[in-house]
Structure 1
């Protein structure tokens, strides 16, 4: 019997950004991911990403690419019980999918500010 071993999802992030790095390390400490900074992308990984990949975070699985707000949602769903519960609650909110990307963009555009509140 052959058992297929799936690679852990790759969390692709801006490794020049202190806040982004902190977020990636937080996720890695609470879930199972392979962290890949933009500066470490292989040609194959880069080919799977959207052309403007440097504008947000991505989660690469064996069969999908999730970007920006959707990536954060998928990452949260793979973390511990508190984060998974939060994702479930957000998904139940009316209009959640409509506001997910604008909310992500609002937070991502202020990452320098958020970086002031995290330990590096």
Structure 2
């Protein structure tokens, strides 16, 4: 199996910070929107620029589900909460609303995050 690819907005400082942190915790290939090739772009949803994506050999996870998958694959603190929450009514909808709330404020979060570049 090839390394999962994290596809993200490489013009966003907060997005870059988050992906950099994911790369420290797990094995992923980071691919910014500006570096997408035609094959990878074809696997993404039409509105791919609305959120991040985790692309594996067999699936594409987008937005909140992508964050959930990254947390699960890295063992990030609290990932087990998503396992417990999956049994709750309306969990997928709540997960996506939380993702959108955070994503719509990424300029604010970026002021708190270090403006790190991705590891070379």
- TM bucket (normalised to shorter chain) is 0.7 to 0.9
Gaps of 5+ in 2: 116-120
| Aligned with 1:116 (options 102, 111, 114) | 111
Aligned length: 115
Which SS does the other structure have where 1:25 is aligned? helix
Aligned-residue RMSD, C-alpha: 1.5
Which aligned segments of 4 or more residues in structure 1 are displaced greater than 4 angstroms?
none
By relative contact order (CA 8 Å, sep 6+), the higher-ranking structure is 2
2:7 aligned partner: 12
TM-score normalized by the length of structure 1: 0.88
CA displacement at 1:119 relative to structure 2: 1.0
CA displacement at 1:87 relative to structure 2: 3.3
Give distance in 1, aligned partners of 2:108 and 2:43: 30
TM-score normalized by the length of structure 2: 0.88
Greater CA radius of gyration, 1 or 2? 1
Gaps of 5+ in 1: 1-5
Give distance in 1, aligned partners of 2:76 and 2:95: 21
CA displacement at 1:86 relative to structure 2: 4.0
